[in-house]
Amino acid sequence: MVSAGTIHGRILKGKTAFMTGKLKIHNPLRALYEEAELPQVIRRSLNFILIGNICGALHGIICGGGTTAMVGLATSMGANDLTFALLAAIPQAAALMQIPFSMLVNRTHKRKKYMLTIGLFSRALWILFGLIPFVVPRGTTVNYQLFTLLFLLGISSCCGAVINPCWFPWLSDLSPDRIRSRWLSVRDVIMSVINILAGLGIAFLLDHLPPETKYVIIFILGGTIGMMDMISFGFCKEVFSTPPQKLKFLQVIGGILKNKPFMHFMIFWTVWCFTANMSGTYMSPYSMNVMGLNFTQIMVFGTVASCVSAIFTVQRWGKALYHFGSRNVMLVSCIGAAVTPAFYLLSSPGNIWPTLLHNFFGAMFWCGANLSANNMQLSISAPETRPSYIAVFSCVTALAGVTLGSLSAGGLLRVFEASGIFTGWFDRYKMLFLLATVLRLGSTLLLVPRMENDRDATPKDLLRAIFRIKKK
């Protein structure tokens, strides 16, 4: 037991340290920078990338095909199941533009220029979304408002395709491999805390602003924050691990096809994105339009719950990556994430628990899966053509995974509705969620064990560490 005198002495010591300016607050990023012995200019650049990522995450809460604000805006314009599928699919289909953009980045090494022109324009377009109902008539035979919404989304997504081939390789060139996964985990914790506060604020605005002006205000805010994301990269030093090179498309594709670890990973992540978006595309519309939850409930029991969960788990996954390897983290986290859509099988009107449980427990595993995916992309891609690797990876997973998954789900919902079988408690959406759960779990167990691991460890070693079981 610690005596009262000892406690009093510690308090006085803390006060003295604070008054004299010698009190040290633990800064995990500074510790990583010192471990890697990074020069000040690189530390500053990584900090601005962090600021950009935070602004990008805040932009993503508001702006995007499946956000609460977009679902609400589209619903007010008369959107149906097919519209929601297109809202999710268009940004992913635009990922095709990443391939020519990546070739351009490899050839010119002008990442900063493209981020501050094309990328900035893509974010600025979001300011216009909330104005659509005021300047575009709905129409009788054709819904011109929805057409304009989808058109602007397509233009913004095509221009925004330049961002990924620029910033992700940029981060790889700035951060050494031995600290990258831990840097990303610290970043995710910071972003989760900020996302909680932002999510609550956005939900409050959506529920309390006047209906006729709330989307104008929300999307002006989202577009402005997105522009700040791009501007942050203007303060980063451009560092390149390889000289500029003019690449031939077929040559790049041939190199990627020969890279077996990368191909195995890309095939799995494509299947994973397909199965994830079968259910994920329709969870927010289902929660809002069928379960009857309002914006605040969806944000609190969705975004906020997942952020709180991520805060307490993401750094643990980052350490697990470092000790046990990407494949093991991918296997365990994807198994956990695969079963969480099944919570929606318990849904009923006004019941918040399925949304809360899905997002809280799901985020415990999603953050591990995403961290391992990001680490794999950078570690098993060829440094000299990394922007092209990332672009091809994004295109394949976006088109064959996210887009096809969202559109397939929309088609299945129509088939289920036409069959007349799925009515009452077990409706067509629950059938879709059940199917997605089975496919996600099956693809994980079948494909992940075949991938190579970057550490001499097994999934059992990771599970023993998680549950603190001593090895016999």
- What is the spatial distance between Cα 407 and Cα 86, in angstroms, rounded to a whole number? 7
Number of other CB atoms surrounding residue 171 within 10 Å: 21
Which residues, other chains included, contact 27 with Cβ-Cβ below 8 Å and sequence gap of 6+?
A: none
Structure tokens at 154: 């397509």
- What is the spatial distance between Cα 369 and Cα 128, in angstroms, rounded to a whole number? 34
- Per-residue pLDDT at 255 exceeds 90: no
- Per-residue pLDDT at 345 exceeds 70: yes
What local confidence, expressed as pLDDT, does residue 19 receive?
39
Between the CA atoms of 202, 62, 273 and 330, what dihedral angle is there, to the nearest 10 degrees? -60
- What is the spatial distance between Cα 429 and Cα 436, in angstroms, rounded to a whole number? 11
What local confidence, expressed as pLDDT, does residue 197 receive?
85
Mean pLDDT value across residues 117-121 = 96
What average pLDDT is seen over the chain? 85
Q: Which helix (H) or strand (E) holds 377?
A: helix 353-379
The domain spans of the chain are 36-467
Question: What is the DSSP secondary structure assignment for residue 470, as one 8-state letter?
Answer: P
Mean pLDDT value across residues 374-399 = 83
- What is the spatial distance between Cα 132 and Cα 130, in angstroms, rounded to a whole number? 6
Whether the CB-CB separation of 237 and 40 falls below 8 Å is answered with no
Q: What is the pTM of this model?
A: 0.69
The helix/strand/coil state of 427 is coil
- Per-residue pLDDT at 224 exceeds 90: yes
- What is the spatial distance between Cα 95 and Cα 55, in angstroms, rounded to a whole number? 21
Mean pLDDT value across residues 143-168 = 92
Mean pLDDT value across residues 54-65 = 89
What local confidence, expressed as pLDDT, does residue 21 receive?
44
230-249 burial, b for 16+ CB within 10 Å, e for fewer? Answer: bbbbeebeeeeeeeeeebee
Q: How far is CA 451 from CA 82, 264, 317, in A?
A: 36, 6, 19
**CA-based end-to-end distance of the chain:** 34
Number of other CB atoms surrounding residue 42 within 10 Å: 19
- Per-residue pLDDT at 20 exceeds 60: no
**Top-ranked range on mean pLDDT: pick from 214-218, 242-246, 466-470:** 214-218
- What is the spatial distance between Cα 217 and Cα 211, in angstroms, rounded to a whole number? 11
Of 153-162, 188-197, 224-233, 268-277, the range with the lowest mean pLDDT is: 188-197
Look at the alpha carbons of 438, 329, 184, 244 in this order and tell me if their dihedral is positive or negative.
negative
Question: What is the DSSP secondary structure assignment for residue 25, as one 8-state letter?
Answer: P
- Per-residue pLDDT at 66 exceeds 90: no
Which residue in the block uniquely carries the two structure tokens 């805040």? 58
pLDDT tens column, 289-315: 888 888 788 878 887 888 888 888 888
Whether the CB-CB separation of 372 and 185 falls below 8 Å is answered with no
More confident residue, 87 or 467: 87
- Per-residue pLDDT at 5 exceeds 70: no
Whether the CB-CB separation of 165 and 105 falls below 8 Å is answered with yes
Confidence of residue 442 (pLDDT cuts 50, 70, 90): very high
What local confidence, expressed as pLDDT, does residue 406 receive?
83
More confident residue, 223 or 19: 223
Q: For the structural domain made of 36-467, what CATH number should be given?
A: 1.20.1250.20
- Per-residue pLDDT at 78 exceeds 50: yes
What local confidence, expressed as pLDDT, does residue 10 receive?
42
